Amino acid sequence: MRNETKYGRKGIISALYEKYAAKTKAYFGACLHNEMVAEDLTQDLFLRLLSIDVLDESTAKGLIFTMAKRMVVDKARQYMHEQSAIRHYHEMSTRTTSFSDNVVDMLSQYEQGGLQSMTRRRAQIYLMYFREGKTASEISGLLHIEKRTVESHIYMSRQIMQRHLHNVV
């Protein structure tokens, strides 16, 4: 957008969010039939916009909906991979007596691989949040760091783990 100095980069993204978030969320909801996933994808889309260096107002709408379309396609691919994995695990369960133990062990190994690709602090926060069920505020107090920093680590660790598990599956 040309008026970047007046509002700042975040102000531009904020204005785009106000203008297109409802339409984007409606698009995701219509395609995916899940309101919570639609909300998550809408937020992810606008977070991704923050990483784009050159953003022009005249192309912003097209870019937003092109990104949304691609995110829906990615979500459909992810769903297909998940269904394939479920079928595979179901087939395994008919062949083995301890299916749930095998699945838990396998998923634990996959998770360990993802944890190894994270920094020590990020992995620690990931485990406290997802395994121990602690809130961001609790983790912030225990580790003596800002709550927003904890939330950033949680977000980034989730992204790392999703990419890792997607590559594994």
pLDDT per residue as tens digits for the range 6-19: 456 677 888 888 99
29-63: pLDDT as tens digits: 999 888 998 999 999 998 888 888 777 777 888 89
Between residues 164 and 133, the one the model is more confident about: 133
Q: Where are the domains of the chain?
A: 4-77, 96-168
Q: Which CATH class is domain 96-168?
A: mainly alpha
Q: Rounded CA gap, 30 and 115, in Å?
A: 35
Q: For residue 106, what pLDDT is reported?
A: 76
Q: For residue 137, what pLDDT is reported?
A: 92
Burial class (CB in 10 A: 0-12, 13-18, 19+), 8: exposed
5 pLDDT above the threshold of 60: no
Q: For residue 1, what pLDDT is reported?
A: 41
Distances (CA, A) of 71 to 41, 68, 144, 147, 167: 8, 5, 36, 29, 17
Between residues 97 and 157, the one the model is more confident about: 157
134-153: pLDDT as tens digits: 999 999 999 999 999 999 99
67-96: pLDDT as tens digits: 999 999 998 888 888 888 878 777 766 665
Q: For residue 7, what pLDDT is reported?
A: 53
In degrees, rounded to 5, the angle at the alpha carbon of residue 21 between the alpha carbons of residues 16 and 22 is 135
